[in-house]
Every structure is written in C-alpha cells, then in structure tokens.
C-alpha cells in the first residue's frame, strides 16, 4: 500500500513537472515573438552610396561616349542627357570621370542643377542600376567656393509615402 502511494506521488510530481515545463516553453515563446522584429528589412545605404560615388568616380566619359575629340561626331549612344553635356562646347575637360564632369558643371555654372539631376537619373534610375522604388538615395555636393556650409542636393530619389 505504501508503495502504491509513492507511485501515485511520483506520477503526480512528473505531471506537475511536465505542466511547468510546457508553461515555461509557452512563456518563452511568447516573449520571443513579442520582442522579435517582424519583417524588418535593412538596407545598406552606406554601401549603396559608396557604390554610387565609386561608379561616378571610376567611370570615364570614354566608357560611355564615342568620338569625344570631335564635337560634330561625338555621341553617347545610350545616354542622351550625358551627350548634351559631354559633347557640348562648355565642358573643358572631356577626358575625365563622371564625378569630375558633374563637379565642373556645378563649379562653372555652365549647366543648371536640373541637368546634373537628369544625368544622375539617367545613369542610375532609368538604366535600372538602382531601383528607386526600393532604395532611396541622395547625392549631396559641397562647394568650397560658393557655399561651404550648405550642401547642394544634386539628386534625391527618396519617395515619402503619406498615410
């Protein structure tokens, strides 16, 4: 009889332990799901901006345009906005990279800021290098001559969704 009573106690303690473990697991699962982020997407904007500036700095005008030495036959087959600037008469240094071209355009004032925006849009957004619906990026330029304290926004593809 004594042995039967001990078996019942053992079963009772075992059931009690199993219920406690199940409650502990459910509690931990609820805490985990409550404090975990739901579908949080992280965009590496610093790497994207470094890549964009790298493309502008290392892409030569010779890579995108043909016959730069002769203004009558100069063409940029896939880039109409860039062709207007590079093949025009106002650009002094045609044998350079795209970042230097944009810097010269801004510093000399030969073209408006809208022309620079159009070139950046053509290179990165229209040619689908960057998906502007998923990634917003801005390019700021600080001129040492005109306004060293105020950066000039060359391009901004961010879209703000209003509720």
Mean pLDDT of 116-143: 74
What pLDDT sits at residue 26? 92
Q: Is the pLDDT of residue 83 over 80?
A: yes
Q: Is the pLDDT of residue 39 over 90?
A: no
Compute the mean pLDDT over every residue in the chain, rounded to the nearest whole number: 75
Instruction: In whole angstroms, give the CA distance from residue 100 to residue 28.
Output: 57
Whether the Cβ atoms of residue 61 and residue 96 lie closer than 8 Å to each other = yes
Percent of the chain surpassing pLDDT 90: 5
Mean pLDDT of 124-130: 79
């Amino acid at each position: 009889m004594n042995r039967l009573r001990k078996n019942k106690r053992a079963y009772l303690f075992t059931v009690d332990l199993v219920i406690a473990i199940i409650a502990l697991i459910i509690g931990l699962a609820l805490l985990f799901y409550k404090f975990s982020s739901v579908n949080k997407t992280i965009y590496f904007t610093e790497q994207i901006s470094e890549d964009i500036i790298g493309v502008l700095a290392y892409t030569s005008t010779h890579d995108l345009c043909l016959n730069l030495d002769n203004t009558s036959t100069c063409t940029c087959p896939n880039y109409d906005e860039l062709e207007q600037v590079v093949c025009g008469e106002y650009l002094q240094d045609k044998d350079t990279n795209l970042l230097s071209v944009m810097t010269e355009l801004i510093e000399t004032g030969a073209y408006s800021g809208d022309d620079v925006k159009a070139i950046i849009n053509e290179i990165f957004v229209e040619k689908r290098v960057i998906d502007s619906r998923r990634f917003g990026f801005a390019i700021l330029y600080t001129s040492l001559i005109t306004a060293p304290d105020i950066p000039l926004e060359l391009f901004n593809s961010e879209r703000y969704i209003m509720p």
